[in-house]
Amino acid sequence: MPLPVFIAVGLAACAVIAAYAHWLGRSARQTLSDTEDALRLFQAACPDLEARQARLAGDRHAALVMLENGDAGLLYAMGSKWMARDLPAGSIKAVKRLSANRLRLILADYTMPRLTIALADENERERWIEAMENAARPPERGPIERKATA
Amino acid sequence: MSFFGPLLDPATLPDPKQVATPLFILFVLIELTLVHRRRLKGDYETRDTLTSLIMGTGSVLGGVLLGGLGYLCLLGAYDMRLTTIQTTPLSLFLLFLLDDMRFYWGHRFSHRIRWFWADHVIHHSSQHYNLSTALRQPWLSGISGMFLLQTPLALIGFHPAALVFVGALNLVYQFWIHTEAVGRFPRWFEAVFNTPSHHRVHHARNAKYLDANYAGTLIVWDRLFGSFIPEDDAEPAEYGLVKNLGTFNPLRVATHEYVGILKDVAQRGLTIRQRLAYFLAPPGWSHDGSRMTSDELKRRDEERKKQNEKTTVRAAD
Ligand SMILES: [Zn+2]
Ligand SMILES: [Zn+2]
């Protein structure tokens, strides 16, 4: 099969399978039941960080976690799985208020460039921004990612 | 006809991946349907599956666009061959076994050397483990230099087209082991072949399971070279990376570790040795010790488990 045809057929197959998965209802995002749930999931993903408190997003697809070291952390539903990150100084490039209850975070992380978070109301939105203030500040030294890959 | 059976023209060997692609699609659809109906164990998520499939399609394109350099090197090595090994069914079988060991070492290097990991990490970047994960393949393998491991086989006298054929056959074998639907096979099969159970361990991010079961088709290489870890029912595998991705964007999935390396290497105040180490040291290495390699993660996990055991015993007393 010539390459362009193979690629066209491949992309068509991608679209068909994705549409089928969506039609089956496999696009639903994971939801947090309560703050305990958020802390447990964050701790499991980042065992080196001490999670103290959590605030749930309005749609329960994300949680802001306050860490023992004073930084904030974030738990975010990536489809049916979770992704967790700490947010040290310099990790947030910009915070955009999309609406009264929606925030967009632009992050200094190539593997997590932007996230949209739905919050209960304007008050809650401002509380989140306040809690992430340190993460939006430039780091004291050069940005050194604290990550381990394996 | 030769001693090893009918002679084959290496140039006419089919591309096993292209031949198998319709079956890959069919089996993904079947697994997805049965998982959804709870007839099979597993998990599918739309965007994750779509990303895996796009990565698979892109890897075919990348292979064609970037694979030429590697193939030219193999042809160069073949020109300097010690002898000529005719392409026959038996010689292909022998080559498959030898190449399977080549795959083992290449895969092991891919987990232990960050430059190669930057290419291979793509295959491990899904938090799901299903047949679509098998198709989540890198786009830039052609520039990784991994083809160098195939050159000894070309130097011995195996035709480069035969090398490409058995390499692709190995990848086709590995498709079906990316599933949670199968528990374990009879003991003799699990002892010899790479199976879903062994490969689940390989895709796990649990510290205990990191850097194990590098096999392609035969798990015997892991048993032989000391990297085999059996699946422990008491510790189910959690799939993905130590630090999972926060994006489904295929372009970012394909390039994220290369970007990570560049960022690290470009840091101010590093020695040449440290910059080189960001390419060649194991993933997770850092000049200031702020990250952890898999060895360190494993050590810490063992310490924690021992500590927990002590606490449990004390509590029981
Ligand atoms: Zn691997
Ligand atoms: Zn795999």
What's the N-to-C CA distance of chain A in angstroms?
A: 37
Helix, strand, coil percentages (3-state) for chain A, rounded to 5, are 30, 30, 40
Say how far residue A123 (Cα) sits from the centre of its chain.
Answer: 21
Taking CB atoms and an 8 Å cutoff, what residues of chain B touch A43? none
Sorting pLDDT into bands at 50, 70 and 90, what band is B25? very high
Domain chopping of chain B, boundaries: 10-185
The pLDDT of residue B154 is 98
Report whether pLDDT(A79) > 80: yes
Instruction: State how far the Cα of B83 lies from the Cα of B96, in Å rounded to an integer.
Output: 18
Sorting pLDDT into bands at 50, 70 and 90, what band is A2? confident
Domain chopping of chain A, boundaries: 35-136
A81 touches chain B (CB under 8 A): yes
Instruction: State how far the Cα of B150 lies from the Cα of A53, in Å rounded to an integer.
Output: 53
Q: Which of A18-27, B29-38, B60-69, B194-203 has the lowest mean pLDDT?
A: B60-69
- β-strands A114-118, A81-87: how paired? unpaired
Instruction: State how far the Cα of B49 lies from the Cα of A26, in Å rounded to an integer.
Output: 10
Mean pLDDT, chain A, rounded, equals 91
Which numeric CATH code is attached to A35-136? 2.30.29
Instruction: State how far the Cα of A71 lies from the Cα of A67, in Å rounded to an integer.
Output: 5
Q: Is A109 close to B291, i.e. CB distance below 8 A? A: no
The tokens describing B117, both together, are 């990991």
A148 touches chain B (CB under 8 A): yes
Question: What mean pLDDT is predicted for residues B70-97?
Answer: 96
Instruction: State how far the Cα of B121 lies from the Cα of B260, in Å rounded to an integer.
Output: 12
Instruction: State how far the Cα of B199 lies from the Cα of B228, in Å rounded to an integer.
Output: 11
Q: DSSP characters for B201-241?
A: HHHB-SGGGSS----SSBTHHHHHHT------TTS---BS-
The tokens describing A74, both together, are 């974030």
Cα–ligand 2 centroid distance for B203 (angstroms): 6
A142 touches chain B (CB under 8 A): yes
Answer whether B10's CB lies under 8 Å from B161's CB.
Answer: yes
Cα–ligand 2 centroid distance for B196 (angstroms): 9
Sorting pLDDT into bands at 50, 70 and 90, what band is A148? very low
B260 touches chain A (CB under 8 A): yes
The pLDDT of residue B118 is 98
Report whether pLDDT(B231) > 80: yes
Pick from B220, B211, B254: which is nearest to B113 by CA?
A: B211
Taking CB atoms and an 8 Å cutoff, what residues of chain A touch B128? 81
Report whether pLDDT(A69) > 80: yes
Instruction: State how far the Cα of A17 lies from the Cα of A23, in Å rounded to an integer.
Output: 10
Pick from B241, B243, B250, B71: which is nearest to B167 by CA?
A: B71
Ligand index nearest the alpha carbon of residue A150? 1
The pLDDT of residue B11 is 87
Which of A85, A111, A148 is the closest to B284 by Cβ? A148
Answer whether B147's CB lies under 8 Å from B74's CB.
Answer: yes
Cα–ligand 2 centroid distance for B73 (angstroms): 27
Give me the sheet containing A72-78, strands edge to edge: A51-56, A62-67, A72-78, A81-87
- Token pair 């060649």 is found at B280
